[in-house]
Amino acid sequence: MIETVVTDNSLIARLIHHLELIYHETPLDITFEQLAQELMVLMRLEPEEDSAPPPHYNPWSQEDVILITYGDSFIPTEGVKEKPLEVLKHFLDEHCEGIINSVHILPFFPFSSDDGFAVIDFSSVNEGLGDWSHIYDIAQRYRLMGDLVINHCSSRSLWFQNFIKGEGPGHDYFFTASPEDDLKDVVRPRTSELLKEVETERGLQHVWCTFSHDQVDLDFTNPEVLKQFVSIIRQYLDMGVRIFRLDAVAFLWKKIGTSCINLEETHLIVRLLRLLIENAEREAVIITETNIPNRENLSYFGNANEAHCVYNFSLPPLLVNTLVTGNCHYLKMWMMSMPPAQNGTTYFNFIASHDGIGLRPVEGLLSDEETDSLIKTMQEFGGRVSWRALDSGEVRPYEINIALYDALQGTTKGPDDFGFQRFVCAHAIMLALEGIPGIYVHSMVGTHNDYDRMENSGHSRAINRHQWHYDEIEAELGSETSSHNRVFKALKKLLKIRQKQPAFHPNATQFTLHLGEAIFGFWRQSRDRTQSIFCITNVSDEAQPLQLSDINLIVTDSWVDLISGESLPEGDAMLTLEPYKTLWISNQVR
């Protein structure tokens, strides 16, 4: 290996420092300098160069919107010989041009379960979806977000088969424990047994399975595992991935006798990966997927040296709860508690995804009674509940599984005629918040609960993972009487307005307004302070009065609602907000 002179500010010096912190309790048969050199070779980096962007640099703007989709959310029309990834690109090019500039394609690798998150081979594209050329084509036109399923892999992977045989890559990649170990504090999102018995060439082993027995946890105390994932990251960068979603990263590092979640070594590995990724590609970012209580989730920002973005997991349950109760109290209290993200970081906002509406992120935010009422309402609207196990043997609700359009079909009083308005209102709030918005493809087209897919799969999450034949969705979006067309047009209008407003930059100033419990409001101001937008929403099913003096509009400016295009009356006028109406009141029209 080539000897390298280490200077205090060199990239290799910084890598060595990270590695010393991560592995200080782990005996290694390699020096930290040698390991740092190997990581740089894998990422094709020069040891003396540190080409990371300056501190607090952010490569995003108000034009950024991420569409969240499976590679086969749209499947070819019968008789058409195309791969689903080709069909997805048709949808993006034909329907999303000018409104969507980024796309999160959920795991597109060969898999054995969990709709892609039990990865068999991290280096290949699932043949049923397409190949790397299709991924690369999409990445040339849209900023591509890909999953780094870093905590575990499939029990059918070559790595795990080598673990059983005791030879080859993977033979020492998996975390094992004993049933006699102190595991009582381990935090998990599932009810299955934590340890899985496996007969190997070395005898009976108990492998660690945070999620399912088909998803076996990797052992990052072995630096060979780290090296494998750095190599995988380099390949994904070459194929066009620019946003890395670190799936289930909170569970990455294990220590017997601890909770095995959010451990310091996990945070240190995120910092190390950010350093490597930023040096390899200035515009690439990391998003941590940590579906955990809000305070713990925010810790993944570090000091602007860990995740560039964290999922705003508390937003979906709080916003849905607000709209079905007609009361924004809990949403407002949460908003006031959220620190502004410093430059170099921002929030990833979403209100629907391929998973359910998580309930752990509202622990300590919603009362038990409020959570129980939300669950009951969602079940009445056709939703299902997924559970997690406590160390006491009890089970607690982990998430609600339901399509967002159906979740917002009514209130705690039952279904009503405001479902469409409520659904659009939810997105108008989300799109105006500090951060980068992500829109689930089935929200974009107003897809309903898919009970057949859920029953056929045996998994509750499948209720919100419908597959559209492309000719069917084309027909719906082309029909003036279709609810899917109506939803798509409404969201498209909001997106077009949003991308022109500097006050909607992901790091623009945000303050919460106090307008009562039926009106939710907040103020955004552009970073150059030239544009203000007051975002005001009636979250109830009854008309609400709004006194303009309550939002303190500057009288020397002319104010316009960006959504309707209507000018606001001068002076201390009284407006009436119809149910679920949103105003984006701005002093500049763009």
Q: Give one DSSP letter per residue of 512-572, joined into a string.
A: E----SSEEEEEEE-TTS--EEEEEEE-SSS-EEEEGGGGT--TTS--EETTT-PBPPSSS
Q: Is the pLDDT of residue 580 over 50?
A: yes
> What is the mean pLDDT of the segment spanning 254-263?
96
Q: What pLDDT, on a 0 to 100 scale, did the predictor assign at position 1? A: 35
Beta bridge partners of 415: 410
Residue predicted with more confidence, 170 or 361: 170
Phi (first) and psi of residue 545, to 5 degrees = -80, 145
Provide the pLDDT confidence category of residue 5 given band limits of 50, 70 and 90.
Answer: very low
Q: Which of 49-63, 142-156, 296-310, 318-332 has the lowest mean pLDDT?
A: 49-63
Q: Is the pLDDT of residue 367 over 50?
A: yes
CA dihedral 149, 153, 157, 160 (to 10 degrees): 140
Q: List C-alpha distances in Å: 66 to 63, 92, 436, 451.
A: 10, 11, 8, 27
Name the amino acid, one letter, at 37: Q
Is 246 among the annotated ligand-binding positions? yes
Name the amino acid, one letter, at 511: F
In whole angstroms, what is the distance from residue 491 CA to residue 374 CA?
Answer: 25
In whole angstroms, what is the distance from residue 314 CA to residue 297 CA?
Answer: 10
> What is the mean pLDDT of the segment spanning 443-470?
96
Q: Which residues are catalytic?
A: 247
Are 527 and 502 a contacting pair, CB within 8 Å?
A: yes
CA 533 to chain centre: 26
Q: What pLDDT, on a 0 to 100 scale, did the predictor assign at position 514? A: 95
> What is the mean pLDDT of the segment spanning 218-225?
98
The full DSSP string for 362-410 is GBTTB-HHHHHHHHHHHHHTT-EEEEEE-TTS-EEEEEEE--HHHHTSE
Are 265 and 23 a contacting pair, CB within 8 Å?
A: no
> What is the mean pLDDT of the segment spanning 262-275?
97
Is 461 among the annotated ligand-binding positions? yes
Is 181 among the annotated ligand-binding positions? no
Are 53 and 305 a contacting pair, CB within 8 Å?
A: no
Q: Which of 115-129, 235-249, 280-294, 523-537 has the lowest mean pLDDT?
A: 280-294
> What is the mean pLDDT of the segment spanning 347-364?
93
Q: What pLDDT, on a 0 to 100 scale, did the predictor assign at position 571? A: 74
Are 58 and 343 a contacting pair, CB within 8 Å?
A: yes
Q: Is the pLDDT of residue 4 over 50?
A: no
Q: Which of 78-82, 223-227, 431-435 has the lowest mean pLDDT?
A: 78-82
Q: What is the DSSP letter of 40?
A: H
Q: What pLDDT, on a 0 to 100 scale, did the predictor assign at position 427? A: 98
76-93: buried (b, 16+ CB within 10 Å) or exposed (e) per residue? beeeeeebbbbbbbebbe
Q: What is the DSSP letter of 426?
A: H
Q: What pLDDT, on a 0 to 100 scale, did the predictor assign at position 80? A: 86
CA dihedral 426, 430, 433, 435 (to 10 degrees): 170
Q: What pLDDT, on a 0 to 100 scale, did the predictor assign at position 163? A: 98
Is 72 among the annotated ligand-binding positions? no
> What is the mean pLDDT of the segment spanning 57-66?
96
Is 247 among the annotated ligand-binding positions? yes
**Domains, the chain, with CATH or none:** 1-50 (no CATH), 509-586 (2.60.40.1180)
In whole angstroms, what is the distance from residue 248 CA to residue 483 CA?
Answer: 35
Is 114 among the annotated ligand-binding positions? yes
Q: Is the pLDDT of residue 54 over 90?
A: no
Instruction: Say how many C-beta atoms besides its own lie within 10 A of residue 104's C-beta.
Output: 26
Q: Which residue, among 60, 86, 61, has the nearest Cα to 72 in the 3D structure? A: 86
**Summary mean pLDDT of the chain:** 94
The pTM of the full predicted model, rounded to 2 decimals, is: 0.95
Planar angle of CA 323, 328, 334, nearest 5 degrees: 115
